[in-house]
Chain A
Amino acid sequence: RMKYSSRLRIRRVYAWRGRHSSFNRKLKIYDYHSLAISVEGLPRITIINIGQHILIESEDEDNPYVAKVVRLFGDESGKQKKATVQWFVRVSEVPPNKLKQLGREPHPQEIFFYQGRSCDDEVNAESILRPVQHVDGAAPFPDDGDRDALYVKLSWDSKNFQMVDSDLMDSAAAPPSSGPACRALPTPDPAVMRRVASGEVRYSRATASAGKPCHAAEAESLHSATKLSASKCLSARRRNTTARTPGVRKKLALCSPEKKSMSRDDVLDQLLDEDLESEVMLAQRLSSSPPHTLTLTHRLTPLRKPRMKPSTVIINRLQISEMDSPPSSIRVDDSTRILKDESTSLRLGLVSVSLFRAEVDHEDSPMLPVTTPRSSKRKSACLSSSRIRKQLNLEEQQDVDSDADDVDSDADDADEFLPSKKELQSSSEEEEEEEESVLDSEEVVNQRESFFLYHHLKSVFFFLFGQITPGTPRTPRRATPSIPSRSLPARQPANVLEEARTRLHVSAVPESLPCREQEFQDIYSFVESKVMDGTGGCMYISGVPGTGKTATVHEVMRCLQHAADEDEIPPFQFIEINGMKMTDPHQAYVQILQKLTGQKATADHAAALLEKRFSNPAPRKESTVLLVDELDLLWTRKQNVMYNLFDWPTRRHARLVVLTIANTMDLPERIMINRVASRLGLTRMSFQPYSFKQLQQIITSRLNKVKAFEEDALQLVSRKVAALSGDARRCLDICRRATEICEHSAADRSATGLVAMSHVMEALNEMFSSAYINAIKCASVQEQLLLRAIIAEFRRLGLEEATFQQVFVQHQALCRVEGLQPISVSEGLAVCQRLGACRILLLEPSRLGVLQRVRLNVSQDDVVFALKAD
């Protein structure tokens, strides 16, 4: 895909069309009406007019930006071409959390009228890709994947969704919006869909897999892809024709040739994606010989009476001549053959039907019919599809009959066309066949002026090159797992102690974060300044566990997000990854990409996509704030993950702020190689362990006037924890445990109901006292004897290590002293193993038997103390 985009950039040539419409003397700016885009080496031109909807290059090729041209202008030299646009936002560009406001699943093709202020509406005209079909108003979304049209229903102002104000939309665009915009969306007929499903799948997949939806197909493709029945289309058209003005029609008429040529280009673009071979073939086929070798045959219905009974078949030889010529570049020859046999028409049913601006040029343009030999292998495929077509024909005929009157009235309203069943024959348009084809007049009525060159070509190519290879198979839609919800609601805390316990749970979100005001301020201003300037940067935050690093960053983000909502700072996107929550450092790419765009990709692919996203300029980009928690786990041998994370913010167009969190202060010096550490920079911050005063303040603020602790008790906890680790989590856990102990003891004696010193002491003992001494006290007689034997042997040897055999000798002696029956070696080994399992002893593997060496895991003094106290 990258190959594709680079080629695109190289090849596109942009030029103004016609003379400038106005000239601003002060600014030395010329205004233009339209812009022509051609692709180098290919004889076709795409015309962009003011008021058209266009696609603009973005870093994500699958989803280029959508906008509407408001103004086209350039400087004197003609080098600088600019366009003022009204932006539309795609679903993927709206932050996922905001999407919830929508209250429904967004349609993949849905776009939103953008009313935010943070985006520059002036773009370089050379980033324009092509026009796009767009539909607004209350039309329903089609059910299946129509890739070509975009739907506008709501507007988005970076905070809320609103109904689209049509006045607003019109005022945003200087000329009134173009024809297709008012088209309602017909719904597909399930019966037809079912019937054609088999034949159609291939076609639609081909479009989708080409990596880029073919927007240029305009209405034809819209209909074809949605597989509509003719009757539905008809009614849809009827509804809308009333609203249309002749002016619009005219405009459309002028546009159509460009559209046609563009569609060809799209086919080309698609094919450029494919292997080189196909490209070569294409070149031969399309662009090499000036008198174009493509000859298409299609029917045009007579403009007069749709109800005409005798079937008339007009077979046109159409030639596409030099592409730079204006609309009349397509000539239609009327040399026709008329076949009278109606039955043949039914047999061979359908041919590619073309819509064309008949009024404009089909009468006066003479042409040279050129026939190109085509591969004949398609014939067999044609046969099978023709059967389906026939079936459809019959059905459609009935529909048309019933709608005949309406058709009459629409007869001259020729800018619209109905879908023929041309997509049914997607794999097989054959001129040989077409020449024999006979048209039923009823059918002709429907298909009048349809121009299906685009599809025609596409299907031909599709057939020629076989199945267009789909890209990497998409992983299935993201699963949305969740823990089932409980049948009974959770109970609420009933008394003061329970209330305190809920508030003291680490997971409880406190009202504020006391004692980290300075750090909060520093991080806040760092991120704020970067977001304001639209630049990037890195920050390294260190501190021992439980000192509030992640909590502070989250709090900062919450505040900044609030500020962004209030429009104090530009909107930004916040994403978070955690080194501990991934299985491999390279998964970082996958997670970042997924949180950023919702795409799923392999690690390598994700890295490439991110690289592109952060290094390429995009006209419209929000800042991204990335929090990397547990940074040390992203360490790899080559450190490329860290390198990339710190390198991206330095790119000019990245607008990426990276906040990294780890435990050790000197992590950059210790594990990072120079080029990584250098990119991380020197913006560092370290979170000191909490002092006892701070811990006390934290508990007090969490309790928030819930009186559950005595002052002394709080002080004891905080002093104890501050002395040990300064870990706020520990502090909260101890307090929680103390409330439990208090609750239990409250039953016995009539205490104050507050957590007192004694409770805290008990909790502290439980959590911090070593179990070894107790375990030795509770050990069996032989186990204690063995420990004594070990100590005796150590003292004898003067070493801290002895073999079991040596210890066992001592043990036997001690048994005799104590008046116990000596134990066997097996039993002695079992005793030894039991102590080893508790890790009071450290042992070598047990297969060494009596030769295994024994060590104490507790200090000798502790053992002696424990045994003496007995």
Chain B
Amino acid sequence: MSKRKVKDDHMPVGECITQVQEVFRERFCCQKLPEQPEGVESQHKHLLELLKRTAVHGESNSVLIVGPRGAGKTMLLKCVLRDLLEEKEVQKNLLQVHLNGLLQTDDRIALKEITRQLNLENVVGDKVFGSFAETLGFLLEALKKGDRSSSRPVLFVLDEFDLFAHHKNQTLLYNLFDVSQSAQAPIAVVGVTCRLDVLELLEKRVKSRFSHRQIHLLSSLTFPQYAERVRTQLSLPDDFPDDKFAQDWNASVKNLCEDKSVEEVLQRHFNSSKDYRMMHMLLMLCLSRVSVAKPNIKPADVLEASKMCFTDAKANMLHGLSILELCLVIAMKHLNDVYEGEPFNLQMVHNEFKKFLHRKSSSMYNFEQPVIMKAFEHLQQLELIRPVDSSSAKTQREYQLMRLMLDHSQIMEALQKYPQCPTDVKQWAMSAFG
């Protein structure tokens, strides 16, 4: 492709589409780092300087990056590391250890992982670590031996930092912070977490040793910025092989973003969450509708994609129920209305259903008790209803108390869309009294 880049301005459309999808997939799915993180310049500078001091001056530090999910914490850290490693002095010296609270679920695993990543396990022949205690002693000794000016600095990145605080005695955190506060090998501990109350999780000794530096990532994004970001995210880069196609594409994207209906959809997404990942999901769905026959994104695509993003999972599940099961759900809804959310059992639901049959059933007729039972169990399997108490063994199944896990709006929405729903069932559902 690179050969063509220079002279070949016009590629076949199919080729262009492949290229487009490649570019955007990398952007949306592979978490490609932006050139410059947006909106977090001060945090970027703070973190970069902090880590640089560790790498260059051998000053130990500890810091927490806190922010809601999808706020760009990891992106910030990765950007900082990328910028940091551009410096030769840093690149030669800095050792990195990356841990994740979801992977290293206890200190023993974490310590093993640290020794592995520091390449310490091979320092003394092929010494195999026996016990947890030995590994800890080994590692502490290794860190203790170093000093500020001569040892290589080590960067510890603890992803999902809050989970490390749940380890027994917080041994790992105590020791890391203790090293960072004593004249041993220089280390920087960077914790990444989405919990705002993370400091309260730390034990008082651990807390005292933590430097209390916190970098908060809270996006104060406004809607115009959000829309602008959508536009830049959908735009093709300047170095796209086919200039003509790129220009057309970018123009169409600009038009798209100015479209009223698209703006409305984006506003709705923005209102729901400022999470970049959610936005990428939406854009990815739009992108997947682009084909050779339709080489740009239309407002209708955005609407469709948005609808897919916002579909209600439970309501969708109702579409697959049989009429009998649907009738049972409606009966439950009426019971909920009557008894103000009190739990019900199979018998009550069956009675309610029979009442409906007596009054105005033209399309429905009564079923045997076992059939009702089977339908009821199916609903339980789908987790549309759940037993009140988990100890179900004691009571008979017909009398076990249940709760409906659906909201009224979900039921009504499902009924609207249910294919060939009998009218009397629909009316029954909408009537105020059973």
- A residues lining the B interface (CB < 8 Å): 476, 479-493, 498, 501-502, 505-509, 544-546, 580-584, 587, 590-591, 630, 633, 663, 725, 727, 729-730, 733-734, 736-737, 740, 744, 766-768, 770-772, 774-775, 777-783, 805, 808, 812, 820-827, 830-831, 834, 837-840, 847-851, 857
Q: Give the chain B neighbours of A485 by CB distance below 8 A.
A: 146, 150-152
* B182 CB contacts on chain A under 8 angstroms: 506-507
B355 within 8 A of A: no
**Quick check: is B271 within 8 A (CB to CB) of the other chain?**
yes
Assess whether B145 is in contact with A483, with CB atoms less than 8 Å apart: yes
Q: Which of A487, A663, A848 contacts B204 (CB 8 A)?
A: A663
Q: How far is the CA of A546 from the CA of B212 in the complex (A)?
A: 14
B312/A825 in contact, CB under 8 A: yes
Known pairs A545-B204, A729-B181; A486 contacts B152 (CB<8 A): yes
Known contacts A490-B58, A580-B205, A737-B213; A483 and B195 CB within 8 A of each other: no
Q: Which residue from chain B places its CB closest to the CB of A804 in the assembled complex?
A: B407
Q: How far is the CB of B209 from chain A (nearest CB, A)?
A: 7
Q: Tell me which residues across on chain B come within 8 A of A501, comparing CB atoms.
A: 59
For the complex, give the distance between the alpha carbons of A226 and B178 in Å. 48
From known contacts A580-B174, A583-B171, infer whether A766 and B274 are also in contact, taking CB-CB under 8 Å: no
- Alpha-carbon separation in the docked complex, A605 to B123 (Å): 28
B contact residues vs A (CB 8 Å cutoff): 45-46, 49, 56-60, 66, 68-69, 89, 92-93, 95, 107-108, 118, 120, 123-124, 127, 131-133, 136-143, 145-146, 148-154, 169, 171, 174-175, 178, 181-186, 194-197, 204-205, 207-209, 211-214, 216, 218-220, 268, 270-275, 310-315, 341, 383, 386, 403, 405-407, 409-410
**What's the nearest-Cβ distance from chain B to residue A842, in Å?**
10
The CA of A479 and the CA of B406, in the complex, are separated in Å by: 62
Which residues of chain A are within 8 angstroms of B143 by Cβ–Cβ distance?
483
Q: B415: shortest Cβ distance to chain A, in Å?
A: 15
* Contact A483-B154, Cβ < 8 Å, known A501-B59, A545-B207, A767-B212: yes
| Neighbouring B residues of A837 by C-beta, 8 Å | 68-69, 194-195
Q: Which residue of A lies closest to B205 (CB)?
A: A545
15 more A-B residue pairs beyond the given contacts A507-B182, A734-B212, with a C-beta to C-beta distance below 8 A: A483-B95, A483-B118, A483-B142, A486-B92, A486-B152, A507-B181, A507-B184, A580-B174, A581-B174, A729-B209, A782-B273, A822-B409, A824-B312, A837-B69, A847-B383
Most buried by A among B60, B118, B197: B197
| Shortest Cβ gap from B44 to chain A (Å) | 13
State the Cβ distance, A605 to closest chain B Cβ, in Å: 14
- Point out the residue from B58, B60, B150, B219 that lies within 8 Å of A778, measured CB to CB: B219
Residue of B nearest to A781 (CB): B271
Q: With the chains together, A481 CA to B197 CA distance in Å?
A: 37
Complex Cα–Cα for A591 and B364 (A): 79
The 6 listed contacts between A and B (C-beta, < 8 Å) are A483-B143, A484-B152, A485-B151, A826-B314, A849-B405, A850-B406
Complex CA gap A777/B403 in Å reads: 36
- Do B196 and A840 touch (CB < 8 A)? yes
Residues of chain A within 8 A (CB-CB) of B142 are 481-483
Query: When chains A and B are docked, how far (Å) is the Cα of A825 from the Cα of B151?
Result: 55
Q: In the complex the two chains form, is A484's CB within 8 Å of B151's CB?
A: yes
Residues of A within 8 A of B59 (CB): 501-502, 505
In the A-B complex, the 4 residue pairs with the closest CB atoms: A545-B208, A490-B58, A778-B218, A479-B124
Q: Is the CB of B133 within 8 A of A490?
A: no
- A633 close to B169 (CB less than 8 A): yes
With beta carbons under 8 angstroms apart, the residue of B212, B271, B272, B409 that contacts A825 is B409
Contact A663 B205 (CB under 8 A): yes
Query: How far does the alpha carbon of A488 sit from the alpha carbon of B92 in the complex, in Å?
Result: 8
Is B268 touching A821 in the complex (CB atoms < 8 A)? yes
The answer on a CB contact under 8 Å between B403 and A730 is no
> Are B57 and A491 in contact, CB atoms less than 8 angstroms apart?
yes
Given the complex, which residues of A lie within 8 Å of B46, measured CB to CB?
740
User: In the assembled complex, which residues on chain A have CB atoms less than 8 Å from the CB atom of B195?
Assistant: 837-839
Q: Which residue of B lies closest to A630 (CB)?
A: B205
Tell me how many residue pairs across A and B have CB atoms closer than 8 Å: 232
Instruction: For B314, list chain A residues within 8 Å (CB).
Output: 825-826, 849
Q: How many angstroms between the C-alpha atoms of A490 and B310 in the bound complex?
A: 54
Contact B212 A839 (CB under 8 A): no
What chain B residues lie within 8 Å of A850 (beta carbons)?
A: 405-407
Residue numbers in B under 8 Å from A821 (CB-CB):
268
A498 to B175, CA, bound (A): 26
Chain A residue, CB-CB nearest to B403 = A851
A830: chain B residues at CB < 8 Å are 272-273
Are A476 and B127 in touch, CB under 8 angstroms? yes
B contact residues around A847 at 8 Å (CB) = 383
| Cβ–Cβ contact A587 & B133, under 8 A | yes
For residue A708, give the distance in angstroms from its CB to the closest CB of chain B. Answer: 16
B95 neighbours in A (Cβ, 8 Å)? 483-484
Q: Within the assembled complex, what's the spacing in Å between the Cα atoms of A587 and B136?
A: 11
* Residues of chain B with a CB closer than 8 A to A857's CB: 197
A583 CA to B132 CA, complexed, in Å: 7
Residue in A closest to B208 when the chains form the complex, CB atoms? A545
User: What CA separation (Å) do A587 and B140 show in the bound complex?
Assistant: 15
**Cβ of A736: which chain B residues have Cβ within 8 Å of it?**
211
A820-B271, A838-B194 known; A483+B146 contact, CB < 8 A: yes
Q: By the criterion CB–CB under 8 Å, are A780 and B136 in contact?
A: no
Highest count of chain A CB atoms <10 Å: which of B95, B186, B204: B204
- Residues in chain B near residue A767, CB distance under 8 A: 212-214
A583 partner residues in chain B, CB cutoff 8 A:
107-108, 131-133, 136, 171
Given contacts A481-B124, A583-B133, A839-B197, contact A730 B312 (CB under 8 A): no
| Candidate in B127, B136, B140, B407 with the most chain A CB atoms within 10 angstroms | B407
A781–B270 alpha-carbon span in the complex (Å): 8
> In whole angstroms, what is the CA distance A489 to B152 when docked?
9
Cβ of A774 and Cβ of B127 under 8 Å apart?
Answer: no
Across the interface, B149 reaches (CB within 8 A) one of A490, A590, A630, A727, namely A490
Known: A580-B175, A782-B271. A834 touches B68 (CB 8 A): yes
Contact A834 B273 (CB under 8 A): yes
Q: Smallest Cβ distance from B401 to chain A, in angstroms?
A: 13
Q: Nearest Cβ distance between residue A429 and chain B, in whole angstroms?
A: 39
**Least CB separation from B264: chain A residue:** A821
Q: Are A775 and B410 in contact (CB under 8 A)?
A: no
Question: A725 — which chain B residues lie within 8 A by C-beta?
Answer: 208
Q: A164: shortest Cβ distance to chain B, in Å?
A: 32
Docked-complex contact B60 and A507, CB < 8 angstroms: yes
A546-B132 Cα distance, complex, nearest whole Å: 29
A733–B213 CA distance with the chains assembled, in angstroms: 8
Chain B residues within 8 Å of A825, by CB = 312, 314-315, 407, 409-410
Are A771's CB and B214's CB within 8 A?
Answer: yes
Question: How long is the Cα–Cα vector from A509 to B183 in the complex, in angstroms?
Answer: 8
Q: Are A839 and B213 in contact (CB under 8 A)?
A: no
Alpha-carbon separation in the docked complex, A734 to B20 (Å): 50
Q: Identify which of A502, A590, A820, A831 contacts B133 (C-beta below 8 A).
A: A590
A581 and B148 within 8 A (CB): no
Contacts of A490 in B (CB 8 A): 56-58, 148-150, 186
For the complex formed, measure the closest distance between the CB of B172 and the CB atoms of chain A, giving whole angstroms.
10
Establish whether residues B208 and A824, one from each chain, have CB atoms under 8 Å apart when the complex forms.
no
Contacts of A778 in B (CB 8 A): 218-220, 274
Q: Tell me if B194 and A824 are in contact (CB < 8 A).
A: no
Chain A CB count within 10 A is highest, among B127, B137, B386, for B137
- Cα-based distance from A483 to B184 in the complex (angstroms): 10
Q: Are B216 and A481 in contact (CB under 8 A)?
A: no
CB contacts (< 8 Å) of A834 on chain B: these are: 68-69, 273, 275
